Amino acid sequence: MSVTAEMGAMVLHRACTPLQWESRPLPVPGAGQLLVQVEACAVCRTDLHVVDGELPHAHYPVIPGHEVVGRVLALGPGVTGHAVGARVGIPWLGHTCGHCEYCASGHENLCDAPEFTGFTRDGGFATHLLADADYAFSLAGFADPVAAAPLMCAGLIGWRSLKMAGDGQRIGLYGFGAAAHLLAQVLRWQGRQVYAFTQPEDHAAQAHALSLGAVWAGSSGQMPPQRLDAAIIFAPVGSLVPLALQAVRKGGRVVCAGIHMSDIPQFPYAILWEERQVISVANLTRADAIEFLRLAPEAGIRADTRVYPLRQANEALADLRAGRFQGAAVLVS
């Protein structure tokens, strides 16, 4: 690790504008905080929603990025459980109040006063960032920061979505991007069947899914060869909800995994009837992160990544929007 008086960052000053490179004074960690030197930060579709102004309560200017891996550079007063030089991961959920009814009942992902990395507080499209020590996770067993970065959101939200989908054997994944390609590996490790749904004629994504063990891959408009036990929708496309409802069996569940989705169109009650369910996933809990980060090495999860220099964050976002790569984009300082 190098020590410098300044940091660099790609900053979003207002919605729907390119990120701008800026130099800033190196921040000093306050009570309960870590100063982290960023090694890698993956690029998430949620970052696109932040850039496009599709999420309410945005704080501008902001440094996006919430799939952060780095080394602890300094500890703020009162921090225990972390050491200078240790590798940590920092996810989307950056802080919770700790006392609302949701925090008190083990549902901190629904906190009434949360803060989110790269959205309401500065994130990892930077050389350094401040993070709450209680929301930074040890990555002592992860040797490659680039490979670990997508686990911090794509992996975590996929894991929480799978828990909400239930224990069925036939799981449909709508939108085969960063989260789905990691979750497909978890499902294969668990001995379950993956059915991958992509945009029409996206043969590259379908081939990627099959290479990761999917038993079937096709267009999102197709019906799978067998009824699904559950479907998880990662693509932010509301019109996929009725399609997924038609693909699941009686009592099946459709999980909407994104933080943003276009409007769900009107659909006949008949495709919801027979105890099918539609539910959403909101954020994650620290317990989710601990579970998944313990599981990932055992399951042999491998992130397929495309690496970009930090200053090329706009290019990485554009390539993600256009679907120019499989897996996840990762920025490195």
Question: Using CA atoms, how far apart are residues 87 and 146, in angstroms rounded to an integer?
Answer: 12
Classify residue 163: in a domain, yes or no: yes
Report, as an integer, the average pLDDT of 217-238: 97
Residue 37 covered by a domain: yes
Q: How far apart are CA 94 and CA 65, in angstroms?
A: 12
Residues 190 and 213 both lie in one domain: yes
Is 13 inside any structural domain?
yes
Residues 197 and 146 reside in one and the same domain: no
Segment 248-265 mean pLDDT: 97
Distance, CA of 152 to CA of 154 (rounded, Å): 6
Q: Which domain holds residue 181?
A: 155-280
How many residues are there in the chain? 333
Residue 273 predicted with pLDDT over 50: yes
2 pLDDT higher than 80: no
Residue among 230, 234, 119 nearest 165 (CA): 230
84 and 22 together in one domain: yes
Buried b (16+ CB within 10 A) or exposed e, 252-271: bbbbbbbbebeeeeeeeeeb
Whether residue 140 is found in the same domain as residue 170: no
Q: Is the pLDDT assigned to residue 57 strictly greater than 90?
A: no
114 occurs within a structural domain = yes
Overall average pLDDT of the 93-113 stretch: 97
CATH classification at residue 258 = 3.40.50.720
Structural domain count, the chain: 2
Tell me, yes or no, whether 118 and 44 share the same domain.
yes
CA distance 230 to 247: 9
What does residue 325 show for φ and ψ, rounded to 5 degrees? Answer: -150, 165
Question: What's the helix, strand, coil split of the chain in %, to 5?
Answer: 30, 30, 40
| Domain assignment of residue 298, yes or no | no
Q: Could you tell me the CATH number of the domain that includes residue 98?
A: 3.90.180.10
Same domain for 10 and 146, yes or no, is yes
- The confidence score (pLDDT) of residue 59 equals 83
115, 175: one domain? no
Mean pLDDT of the chain: 96
| Cα→Cα distances 163→50, 100, 118, 158, 331, Å | 26, 24, 25, 9, 29
Asked whether residue 1 carries a pLDDT value surpassing 60, the answer given is: no
- pLDDT confidence of 58, banded at 50, 70, 90? confident
pLDDT at 3: 52
What is the spatial distance between Cα 261 and Cα 235, in angstroms, rounded to a whole number? 8
Residues 31 and 98 in one domain: yes
Shared domain for 171 and 231, answered yes or no, is yes
Does residue 170 sit in the same domain as residue 140? no
Long-range contacts of 21-29 (CB under 8 A, 24+ apart): 21/311, 26/128, 27/128, 27/130, 28/74, 28/76, 29/74, 29/75, 29/76, 29/79, 29/130
> Which H or E element spans position 183?
helix 178-190
- pLDDT at position 4 is 62
Q: Domain for residue 285, yes or no? A: no
Cα(154)–Cα(305) distance, rounded to whole angstroms? Answer: 12
Residues 12 and 145 in one domain: yes
Mean of pLDDT values over 313-328: 96
% of the chain beyond a pLDDT of 70? 99
Beta strand residue intervals within the chain, DSSP E? 6-11, 20-25, 33-43, 67-75, 87-90, 93-95, 115-116, 128-132, 137-138, 170-174, 193-198, 216-219, 228-233, 248-256, 277-280, 305-309, 328-332
Q: Are residues 34 and 13 in the same domain?
A: yes
